[in-house]
C-alpha cells in the first residue's frame, strides 16, 4: 500500500541559511561567465531576464497562468524535508514571478507589493540564490500541476539570469570547468583514464581469467560509450559490465578521453554550457568516426 | 445618460477589452519560441493524442485528481457548474431559443443555485490551509470574491426579485442588434450585470487567463516523438575558450599522434 507523506506545517525561513558555496572566479572565467558580481548586477540580471522571457515561451506562460491552487505545495521533496514555504514549487516560482511582475508587467508596476510585485534587490537576490539552488529540477511538481507548470523551467531560467551576473555555485561551476579541462566531471586526466582501463583489463584477467579489452580513443569503432566518469574510478564493476556486454555481443566499442562523462552539469547552470558540454559527445563521435553513441547516466 | 453608458456602451467596451485582451495575451505568449522539448511523459506520440490530452486536461483535470482529490472535486464542480450556467444564459442572447439551450434550462438552474458552494470552498481552503494561505495574493481573492458576488447576486435575482424576463431579453437583444432598449431594472439585476462587465474587463489581465493559456503549455502540448529532431530557433554555435585545457584541435592532435604510434 502506498503511504502518502503528510505535508509538514510551514516553518518560515527553515532552510534560508542552507546556501551553496559561491563559485570561484577562476572557474567562472573558464566557463565563459563573469568572474564576479559586477556593480551593475541588477541591470545585467534584468537584461538577461528580458532575454530569457523572449526566448522561452514556457517561462513567461508559466509565470502568467499559475492560479496558485496549491496542488504542488506538498509535492516537492525539498519542502517535505524542510517545511520552508519558499521550497513549495509555486512559492519558488513566486520568487521569479514577483520580479517579473514588477519589471515586466503593467499591472505589477501599478499595484506593486499589493499584488506581490517586488523590486529586484539584494534581499530578493539572496532568496533566489538560496532557493533556486534548493531545487533539483526533478519536475515532480509538473506531474501534479493542472497546466503542467514545470518548476525546472523556472529554476533554470533563474539560474541562467543569475549566471549572467556572475552568480553561481562552486560545485556546479567547478565541475563544468573540469569537463572543459579533463573531459569529465571527476577531473580524470586522459592518461589516468587509459591507465584505469589497462588496470581493469589486467584485473579481469587475474580474477576471472577473461581476456577482454577496454578500448580508449579507438578510431573507427562501431560504438562510442559515454559512461558516467565514476564508472572508471569508483563503480568499476559497472565499467567491467559494459566491457563484458560488448564482448559477448561482438560489438566493437571505445571510450574517448575527450568526452568520458555522461552527466551534464550545464543543466544546472545555463543553456550555453549545457549545450557546450553535450557538444563534446558529438565532437568525440565525429573525430572517432563511430556509428553509434551509447550514452549512460 | 449614465444608464445609457452603463447598459449600452459599457457592454461593448468590456467585450472589446475582453476579446482584444485575450488576443494580446496569446500573441505575447506565442511570440516567445519553444527552444527545447520539455514534454512531461507519459505523452502521446500523435497530434490526435495531443488534442485528446488537452481536451482531457480542460474537462477533467487529471493532474489535479492525482495530486489532491478534495481540490479536484471543488475545481471540477466549479468549472462544470460554470459551463452549465454560461450555456443556460444563452437563452437571453438568442432568439428564438435553440432546443439544446432550452433542454439544459433545469440543470443550468440547479448549477446556478449550487455554484457559490465550490467557490466558497475554494475561498475557505485558501484561508484554512497554511500552505495555500502563504501563496495566496490579492488577485486570487479578487477573482474568487468577484465570482462569488456575481453568482450570489444571480441566485438572489432568481429567488427574490424575479426580474421581468421580457425586459432583460429586450435589453440584451438590443445590445445584440446595436439598439439601446433600456427598461427600469431591479437594482439586483443592475448589480449582477455590472459585475459581469467587471469580470469581462478583468479577465484578460489576471490569473483567469489560465483558461486558455494552458493550451500553449509546452509540457502538455508537445509530442513524445523523440526520434524526430527538435530545432531550437535561436540556437547558437559552440565557442571555445582559450582557458580550457582540452579542445577539438588538441584532441585531433592526440588521436593523430596515437595513430602514428601504432604505425611505428
- Complex-level ipTM: 0.92
Sign for the CA dihedral angle at B10, B13, B16, B21 comes to: negative
Which chain A residue lies closest to B211 (C-alpha atoms)?
A: A65
Taking CB atoms and an 8 Å cutoff, what residues of chain B touch A287? 248, 251-252, 255
What CATH number does residue A46 fall under? Answer: 1.10.1060
List the single residue in A31, A55, A276 with the smallest CB-CB distance to B238. Answer: A276
Residue bearing cell 519558499 = A86
Provide the pLDDT for residue B264.
52
Measure A136 CA to nearest chain B CA, in Å.
16
Dist. CA A156–CA B193, nearest whole Å: 45
Q: Domain boundaries in chain B?
A: 2-263
Measure B238 CA to nearest chain A CA, in Å.
6
Beta strands in chain A (DSSP E): 223-226, 253-254, 292-295
Provide the pLDDT for residue B237.
93
Provide the pLDDT for residue B26.
96
Residue bearing cell 484578460 = B204
A65 part of a folded domain: yes
Provide the pLDDT for residue B166.
79
What is the tally of structural domains in chain A?
A: 2
The residue ranking higher by pLDDT, B259 or A171, is A171
A4 part of a folded domain: no
List the single residue in B34, B243, B254 with the smallest CB-CB distance to A57. Answer: B34
Dist. CA B68–CA B72, nearest whole Å: 6
Q: Which of A141, A147, A261 to mutate against chain B (most B CBs within 10 Å)?
A: A147
A2 part of a folded domain: no
Put simply, the answer to whether B32 touches A57 (Cβ < 8 Å) is: yes
Q: Which of A150, A168, A186 is the last residue of a domain?
A: A168
Taking CB atoms and an 8 Å cutoff, what residues of chain A touch B77? none
* B2-263 placed in CATH 1.20.140.10: no
Q: Are residues A109 and A40 in the same domain?
A: yes
Put simply, the answer to whether B241 touches A257 (Cβ < 8 Å) is: no
Q: Which of B63, B126, B222, B259 to mutate against chain A (most A CBs within 10 Å)?
A: B63
Q: Are residues A120 and A39 in the same domain?
A: yes
Q: Are residues A109 and A206 in the same domain?
A: no
pLDDT in tens, B197-235: 999 999 999 999 999 999 999 999 999 988 889 999 999
Put simply, the answer to whether A148 touches B219 (Cβ < 8 Å) is: yes
pTM of the model: 0.92
Measure A280 CA to nearest chain B CA, in Å.
8
Q: Are residues A105 and A192 in the same domain?
A: no
Sign for the CA dihedral angle at A135, A2, B78, B128 comes to: negative
**Residues 127-156 in A contacting B (C-alpha not used; CB under 8 Å):** 139, 142-150, 153
A50 part of a folded domain: yes
Taking CB atoms and an 8 Å cutoff, what residues of chain B touch A67? 140, 207, 210
**Residues with pLDDT less than 70, chain A:** 1-5
B107 conformational bin, left if phi > 0, alpha if psi -120 to 50, beta if neither: alpha
User: How buried is residue B103: exposed, middle or buried, by Cβ count under 10 Å (0-12/13-18/19+)?
Assistant: exposed
Put simply, whether A88 touches B (Cβ < 8 Å) is: yes
How many contacts (CB atoms, under 8 Å) link A and B? 184
Q: Which of A140, A168, A196 is the last residue of a domain?
A: A168
Q: Are residues A246 and A228 in the same domain?
A: yes
Put simply, the answer to whether B244 touches A30 (Cβ < 8 Å) is: yes
Provide the pLDDT for residue A269.
95
A16 part of a folded domain: no
A249 part of a folded domain: yes
Put simply, the answer to whether B135 touches A64 (Cβ < 8 Å) is: no
pLDDT in tens, B24-72: 999 999 999 999 999 998 899 999 999 999 999 999 999 999 989 999 9
**Domain of A84?**
25-168
Sign for the CA dihedral angle at B245, B246, B251, B252 comes to: negative
Measure A213 CA to nearest chain B CA, in Å.
17
Put simply, the answer to whether B246 touches A279 (Cβ < 8 Å) is: no
A15 part of a folded domain: no
Provide the pLDDT for residue A189.
95
User: How buried is residue A12: exposed, middle or buried, by Cβ count under 10 Å (0-12/13-18/19+)?
Assistant: exposed
Confidence of residue B262 (pLDDT cuts 50, 70, 90): low
**Residues 225-254 in A contacting B (C-alpha not used; CB under 8 Å):** none
B248 conformational bin, left if phi > 0, alpha if psi -120 to 50, beta if neither: alpha
Confidence of residue B183 (pLDDT cuts 50, 70, 90): low
Amino acid at each position: 500500500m502506498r503511504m502518502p507523506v503528510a505535508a509538514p506545517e510551514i516553518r518560515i525561513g527553515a532552510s534560508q541559511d542552507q546556501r551553496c558555496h559561491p563559485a570561484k572566479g577562476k572557474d567562472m572565467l573558464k566557463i565563459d561567465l563573469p568572474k564576479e558580481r559586477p556593480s551593475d548586477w541588477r541591470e545585467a540580471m534584468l537584461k538577461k531576464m528580458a532575454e530569457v522571457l523572449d526566448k522561452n515561451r514556457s517561462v513567461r506562460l508559466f509565470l502568467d497562468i499559475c492560479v496558485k491552487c496549491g496542488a504542488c505545495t506538498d509535492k516537492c521533496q525539498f519542502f517535505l524535508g524542510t517545511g520552508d514555504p519558499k521550497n513549495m514549487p509555486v512559492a519558488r516560482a513566486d520568487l521569479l514571478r514577483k520580479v517579473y511582475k514588477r519589471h515586466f508587467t503593467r499591472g505589477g508596476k501599478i499595484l506593486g507589493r499589493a499584488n506581490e510585485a517586488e523590486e529586484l534587490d539584494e534581499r530578493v537576490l539572496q532568496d533566489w540564490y538560496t532557493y533556486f539552488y534548493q531545487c533539483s529540477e526533478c519536475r515532480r511538481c509538473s506531474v501534479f500541476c493542472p497546466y503542467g507548470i514545470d518548476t525546472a523551467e523556472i529554476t533554470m531560467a533563474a539560474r541562467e539570469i543569475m549566471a549572467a551576473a556572475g552568480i553561481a555555485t562552486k560545485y556546479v561551476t567547478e565541475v563544468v570547468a573540469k569537463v572543459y579541462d579533463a573531459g569529465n566531471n571527476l577531473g580524470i586526466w586522459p592518461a589516468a583514464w587509459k591507465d584505469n582501463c589497462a588496470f581493469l583489463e589486467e584485473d579481469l584477467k587475474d580474477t576471472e581469467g577473461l581476456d577482454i579489452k577496454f578500448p580508449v580513443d579507438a578510431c573507427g569503432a562501431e560504438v562510442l560509450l559515454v559512461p558516467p566518469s565514476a564508472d572508471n574510478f569508483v563503480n568499476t564493476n559497472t565499467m567491467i559490465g559494459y566491457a563484458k556486454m560488448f564482448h559477448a555481443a561482438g560489438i566493437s566499442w571505445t571510450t574517448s578521453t575527450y568526452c568520458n562523462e555522461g552527466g551534464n552539469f550545464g543543466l544546472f547552470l545555463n543553456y550555453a554550457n549545457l549545450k557546450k558540454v553535450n557538444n563534446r559527445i558529438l565532437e568525440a563521435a565525429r573525430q572517432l568516426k563511430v556509428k553509434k553513441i551509447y550514452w549512460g547516466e | 445618460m449614465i444608464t445609457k453608458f452603463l447598459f449600452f456602451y459599457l457592454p461593448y467596451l468590456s467585450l472589446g477589452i475582453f476579446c482584444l485582451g485575450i488576443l494580446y495575451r496569446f500573441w505575447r505568449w506565442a511570440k516567445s519560441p519553444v527552444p527545447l522539448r520539455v514534454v512531461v511523459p507519459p505523452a502521446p506520440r500523435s497530434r490526435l493524442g495531443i488534442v485528446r490530452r488537452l481536451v482531457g486536461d480542460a474537462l477533467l483535470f487529471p493532474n489535479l485528481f492525482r495530486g489532491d482529490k478534495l481540490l479536484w472535486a471543488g475545481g471540477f464542480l466549479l468549472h462544470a457548474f460554470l459551463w452549465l450556467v454560461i450555456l443556460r444564459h444563452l437563452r437571453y442572447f438568442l432568439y428564438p431559443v435553440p432546443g439544446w439551450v432550452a433542454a439544459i434550462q433545469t440543470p443550468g438552474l440547479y448549477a446556478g443555485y449550487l455554484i457559490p458552494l465550490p467557490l466558497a470552498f475554494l475561498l475557505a481552503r485558501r484561508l484554512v490551509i497554511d500552505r495555500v494561505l502563504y501563496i495566496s495574493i490579492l488577485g486570487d481573492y479578487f477573482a474568487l470574491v468577484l465570482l462569488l458576488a456575481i453568482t450570489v447576486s444571480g441566485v438572489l435575482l432568481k429567488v427574490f426579485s424575479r426580474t421581468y424576463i421580457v425586459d432583460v431579453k429586450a435589453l440584451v437583444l438590443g445590445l445584440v442588434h446595436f439598439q439601446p432598449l433600456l427598461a427600469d431594472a431591479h437594482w439586483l439585476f443592475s448589480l449582477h450585470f455590472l459585475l459581469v462587465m467587471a469580470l469581462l474587463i478583468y479577465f484578460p489581465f489576471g490569473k483567469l487567463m489560465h483558461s486558455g493559456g494552458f493550451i500553449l503549455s509546452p509540457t502538455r502540448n508537445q509530442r513524445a516523438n523523440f526520434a524526430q529532431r527538435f530545432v531550437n530557433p535561436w540556437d547558437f554555435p559552440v565557442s571555445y575558450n582559450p582557458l580550457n585545457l582540452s579542445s577539438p584541435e588538441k584532441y585531433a592532435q592526440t588521436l593523430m599522434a596515437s595513430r602514428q604510434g601504432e604505425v611505428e
